Amino acid sequence: MQPFIDMNKTLQGKVALVTGGSRGIGAAIVRRLASDGATVAFTFSASAAHAMALVAEGSGGIALAIKADSADAEAVKHAVAKTVSSLGRLDILVNNAGIVIGGLVDDYGLSDFDKMFAVNVRAVFVAIQAALPHMTTGSRIITTSSIVAHYTGFPGVSTYSMTKGAVRAMTRALARDLGPRGITVNAIEPGPTDTDNIKNEQMRAALSAKMALARIGTDSEVASLVAYLASPESTFITGSMLTIDGGLAA
């Protein structure tokens, strides 16, 4: 008798690591990859309560919460090593951790500049570098960029836009480096998404008015795009930036 195969579990047998996975889009990605059959580890920095609650939800695929500040390169390396030592392998790396420190260039502090690049750019590079020795043909690297990598639309995010533009360039270049190994490298570019970063109804309404679909996105919609890029259906997609912005930049 053939073993039962759940066709909805497209990631059965895969191990994923999601950085910044305790809240918002990151938590939605963790839940979705787990629901698709992957065993998922994720990092958190300051949201221990959210992280423990996510593990406690009871999904068998959410296996491991790792405290790691993405601004600390050694902590990022440790998270990769912990995932492999605890779960035995690493097939999918989702670089989701990121921060926004807004401000105009006139008086933007260099310490804020350095911190944002450390989390949004350096940590992505460090995680990929640490993960590669454990990855094989068919492995996936997916990074959360932003629509502001090529469409800003409002002032005060020049440094953030630079970091996401760097991710965009890194993704394209690494796709060339890693293509011969059968490893795909892609990024997603979400627009405004309904997470706790949306502070109030006035902000939600203002953002919705800019969207072609007249609403902001949901974290589960963004997670579905990550799940697609992690799935067997995306084997011929690499070096791509997939926009999911409700038509903001249309």
CB-CB contact of 36 with 6 (8 Å): no
Among the options 108, 151, 160, 228, which is catalytic?
Answer: 160
Dist. CA 164–CA 162, nearest whole Å: 5
CB-CB contact of 246 with 216 (8 Å): yes
CB-CB contact of 250 with 58 (8 Å): no
The count of residues in the chain is 250
Q: At what angle do helices 73-87 and 123-131 cross, to 10 degrees?
A: 30
What would the two tokens of residue 233 be? 């259906």
- Environment class of residue 184 by beta-carbon count within 10 Å: exposed (0-12), middle (13-18) or buried (19+)? buried
Question: Is residue 108 annotated as part of the catalytic site, yes or no?
Answer: no
What would the two tokens of residue 10 be? 């497209």
Task: Please list, in sequence order, all residues whose beta carbon lies within 8 angstroms of the beta carbon of residue 96, skipping any fewer than 6 positions away.
Answer: 18, 19, 20, 21, 25, 26, 29, 143, 144
Active-site residue list: 160
